[in-house]
């Protein structure tokens, strides 16, 4: 893909690019918008530097890619329900996203993408790692691809959110999705199970399900599928949840890392 208005610097061969030549605090031109759509399709996660988004510009940027979803597990800000805070400091007992996951796969319609802007970052550490589920799928053996084709798995929000919010009386979502998902824009196949939400494969014994999921969770940890993002204040990461997983590294306790995220609504993964 060629880019005329954006500066696009790929960070690895398989996933991730840093994008320049755009000010996300301002409305985008049609050309910028269409090149950003191309960039997220080409690189799966794109990063921006020096973008001091306020809630309004953050929401406006998110809406370029679709409706914004209200997070089904974490309460949004009072005045901006589509915006959630991502925060950890010296009082934190856990941080959101510490295990490999794609956002909210417990939802019947999981989100297309998520856009995170951090305003406060630790002196060192606090990186986010992203894994390409296309690369992970491509590296499966033909026999494993054939085995997984057409299979489905259960994604459960309860065991993710109940421990984080023990005082909240609420039923969290559980959904069933295909294990191999075809991306609606690129047509590429990717692995769509993750160690945070996915609990079992439908229609096989628990032993078989545990063994296969365990294999896939280990497989996606291969660094050949990864890009690791080092945050600076006002960096932005925009990832496509349909073809990536991510993990927030909590190696900076007791320092503070803080910012806000919006979630772009998605489509039902085709069965």
| Interacting residues with ligand SIN (CB under 6 A) | 86, 96-97, 114, 116, 128, 246, 248, 261
Q: Is 183 a catalytic residue?
A: no
Tokens describing residue 211: 């063994």
In the bound state with ligand SIN, the residue whose beta carbon lies nearer, of 120 and 182, is 120
Taking the complex as a whole, how short is the minimal distance between the CB of residue 4 and ligand SIN, in angstroms?
31
Q: Is 101 a catalytic residue?
A: yes
198-201 and 113-120 strand pairing: unpaired
**Per annotation, catalytic residue among 14, 101, 183, 226:** 101
In the bound state with ligand SIN, the residue whose beta carbon lies nearer, of 44 and 128, is 128
Q: Is 246 a catalytic residue?
A: yes
Taking the complex as a whole, how short is the minimal distance between the CB of residue 92 and ligand SIN, in angstroms?
12
Q: What are phi and psi of 19, to 5 degrees?
A: -115, 130
CB atoms within 10 A of CB 11: 17
Where does residue 223 rank: exposed (0-12), middle (13-18), buried (19+ CB within 10 A)? exposed
**Per annotation, catalytic residue among 103, 107, 156, 240:** 103
Taking the complex as a whole, how short is the minimal distance between the CB of residue 95 and ligand SIN, in angstroms?
7
Please list, in sequence order, all residues whose beta carbon lies within 8 angstroms of the beta carbon of residue 158, skipping any fewer than 6 positions away.
106, 171, 172, 174
SS3 211: helix
Q: What are phi and psi of 263, to 5 degrees?
A: -125, 125
Q: Which residue is nearest to ligand SIN (CB)?
A: 97
Q: What are phi and psi of 261, to 5 degrees?
A: -135, 140
Q: Is 4 a catalytic residue?
A: no
In the bound state with ligand SIN, the residue whose beta carbon lies nearer, of 34 and 85, is 85
In the bound state with ligand SIN, the residue whose beta carbon lies nearer, of 38 and 89, is 89
Active site (catalytic) residues = 101, 103, 246, 261
């Amino acid at each position: 893909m060629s880019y005329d208005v954006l500066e696009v610097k790929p960070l690895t061969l398989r996933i991730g690019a840093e994008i320049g030549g755009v000010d996300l605090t301002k409305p985008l031109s049609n050309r910028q918008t269409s090149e950003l759509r191309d960039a997220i399709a080409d690189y799966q996660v794109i990063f921006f530097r020096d973008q001091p988004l306020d809630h309004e510009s953050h929401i406006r940027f998110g809406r370029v890619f679709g409706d914004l979803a209200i997070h089904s597990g974490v309460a949004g800000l009072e005045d901006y329900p589509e915006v959630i805070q991502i925060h950890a400091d010296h009082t934190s007992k856990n941080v959101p996203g510490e295990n490999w996951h794609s956002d909210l796969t417990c939802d019947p319609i999981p989100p297309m993408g998520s856009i995170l802007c951090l305003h406060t970052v630790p002196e060192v550490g606090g990186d986010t790692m992203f894994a390409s589920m296309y690369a992970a799928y491509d590296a499966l053996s033909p026999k494993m691809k054939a085995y997984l084709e057409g299979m489905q798995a259960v994604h459960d929000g309860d065991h993710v959110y109940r421990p984080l919010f023990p005082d909240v009386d609420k039923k969290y979502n559980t959904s069933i999705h295909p294990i191999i998902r075809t991306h609606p824009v690129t047509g590429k196949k990717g692995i769509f199970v993750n160690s945070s939400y996915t609990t079992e494969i439908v229609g096989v014994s628990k032993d078989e399900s545990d063994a296969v999921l365990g294999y896939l969770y280990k497989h996606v940890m291969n660094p050949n599928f990864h890009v690791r993002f080092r945050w600076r204040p006002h960096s932005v990461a925009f990832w496509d949840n349909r073809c990536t997983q991510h993990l927030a590294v909590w190696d900076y306790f007791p320092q503070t890392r803080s910012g806000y995220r919006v979630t772009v609504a998605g489509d039902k993964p085709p069965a």
